[in-house]
Copies of this chain bind each other. A is one copy, B any other.
Amino acid sequence: MRAYDIIQKKRDGGVVDEAELKFLVDGLLSGEVKDYQLTAFLMAVYFRGMQDAEVVALTKTMLHSGVVVDLGDIPGVKVDKHSTGGVGDKISLPLAPAVAACGVPVPMISGRGLGHTGGTLDKLESIPGFRVDLSLDDYRRLVRDVGCCLIGQTKEVAPADKKLYALRDVTATVDCIPLISGSILSKKLAEGIDGLVLDVKVGSGAFMKTRDKATTLARTMVAICAGMGKAVVARLTSMEEPIGSFVGNALEVGESLDVLEGRGPADTIALTVELGAEMLVLGKVARDLDDGRARIRRSLQDGSAREKFGQIIAAQHGDRGVLDDRRRLPQAPQKTDFVAGARGRVVAVDSEAVGVASLLLGGGRLRAEDSIDPRVGLHIHARLGDVVEKGQPIATLHHADRGVADALARLQKAYVLADPAVPFTAPSLFVDRIAG
């Protein structure tokens, strides 16, 4: 087998089989296949795409390049949720304990934030002491004993994906649905899950800006999971404005605690309930989505989800005192309002720009090696459809020593106000559902 022939086959629109993909991916790690051959292949994939069977084979190969956790000895159907990344997307934080509290084990390996999107790990780490760098043994133990564990990707998981992603990142081949799908799922499926709920974001703050692209990504990922024998369902959800009222790490933990106390913004609650219901159905704890929704809502109302979050925080070395005293979360020293320049209705939000505004305050990272400031971010007051008066705050910046002017400039462009007399309908939060 020669890398050349595989590149040529894909270049000419052919279908590459599992043995060929394995040859490429294993060869990349062993050095037998050169980086410069792989990037030519990746660019050919960018133009020619991949059939479902090819993406399944690619995912399998990358998955098995590293450790695949076996949770088979833990009772129950293990289910995780993956979101393709958004602005203000803290859903994993209330969701994982709520689902675990309802009896479905949640083994969750998450990523860090990059660019305009935040990451679950960064948010969790704003809880004093919280550790996401547990060993896979600890991870297995906590899924069994606590019913949930929230950690970061270890070096043992899908090393081929790591190398492939690094090459894609410098060769303009990241934005390619088969490669995105393979990358996400080769990491997710290493968790030892039986089922996966996919939250595919679509809109101004999502990686997939159009419904067509988001649908293709969702269908591809559903096909891969199904092809690998996993229960799966994908939800397309709107990312036309930031989720909830807060963007920023400690601020989003605060909002998550609100949800776990039966309060919080309607959209954050709705996403938690809906995705949680899907997880309970896949986890065979709920008989249908309505039953699932009721169970998740109850766990948020009766404190059981909040209690589960406390257990998770304690098990992962965090200060569970934050549940009772929010002031234990890091606080930004200063606040500055971003106010409306004129009266008007919020008719469009460039959520990506809102995410960048938070990044500029120090709440995100431009490059993987950047450090973040957990304290900073945005408190958003005006949502799509709201009418604001001139001088009324649209958002409040929580900041420390940097980025305020730049962040304000971004927000200025991000919010489009229009004549309140013109009718406006806010987009639905739930766009589509694609079952396995």
Contacts and interface: CB of A to CB of B under 8 A. Distances in A.
Contact of A171 (B4, B46, B167, B171): B4
A380 interface: no
Contacts of A170: 3-4, 34, 36-37
Contacts of A243: none
A164 to B, nearest CB: 11
A7 B36 CA distance: 14
A40 B4 contact: no
Nearest to A9: B172
A287 to B, nearest CB: 48
Contacts of A34: 35-36, 170
A81 interface: no
A8 B43 CA distance: 10
A40 B39 contact: yes
A11 interface: yes
Residues of A contacting B: mostly: helix
Nearest to A35: B36
A46 B11 contact: yes
Contacts of A8: 172
A9 B144 CA distance: 49
A37 B3 contact: no
A39 B36 CA distance: 6
Given A3-B170, A7-B171, A40 B37 contact: no
Contacts of A39: 36-37, 39-40, 43
Contact of A172 (B4, B38, B47, B173): B4
A404 interface: no
A34 B35 CA distance: 10
Given A35-B35, A47-B47, A7 B172 contact: yes
A42 interface: yes
A150 interface: no
A311 B3 CA distance: 48
A352 to B, nearest CB: 17
Contacts of A7: 171-172
A34 B7 CA distance: 19
Contact of A43 (B3, B4, B35, B40): B40
A206 interface: no
Given A11-B46, A43-B43, A36 B4 contact: no
Contacts of A37: 39, 170-171
Interface in A212-264: none
Contacts of A36: 34-36, 38-39, 167, 170-171
A44 interface: yes
Interface in A39-93: 39-40, 42-44, 46-47
Given A11-B46, A35-B35, A47-B47, A40 B172 contact: yes
Q: Which of A35, A39, A40, A44 has the most CB of B within 10 A?
A: A40
Contacts of A43: 11, 39-40, 43-44, 47
A43 B42 CA distance: 9
Q: Which of A8, A35, A46, A170 has the most CB of B within 10 A?
A: A170
Contact of A173 (B40, B46, B171): B40
Interface string A157-181: 0000000000100111100000000
A354 B238 CA distance: 63
A3 B47 CA distance: 19
Nearest to A48: B47
Given A36-B170, A36-B171, A39-B39, 7 more contacts: A4-B172, A36-B39, A37-B39, A37-B170, A40-B172, A40-B173, A43-B47
Among all A-B residue pairs, the 5 with the closest Cβ atoms: A40-B171, A43-B43, A8-B172, A35-B36, A39-B40
25 contacts: A3-B170, A4-B170, A4-B171, A4-B172, A8-B172, A11-B43, A11-B46, A34-B36, A35-B35, A36-B36, A36-B38, A36-B39, A36-B167, A37-B171, A39-B39, A39-B40, A39-B43, A40-B40, A40-B42, A40-B43, A40-B171, A43-B43, A43-B47, A44-B46, A44-B172
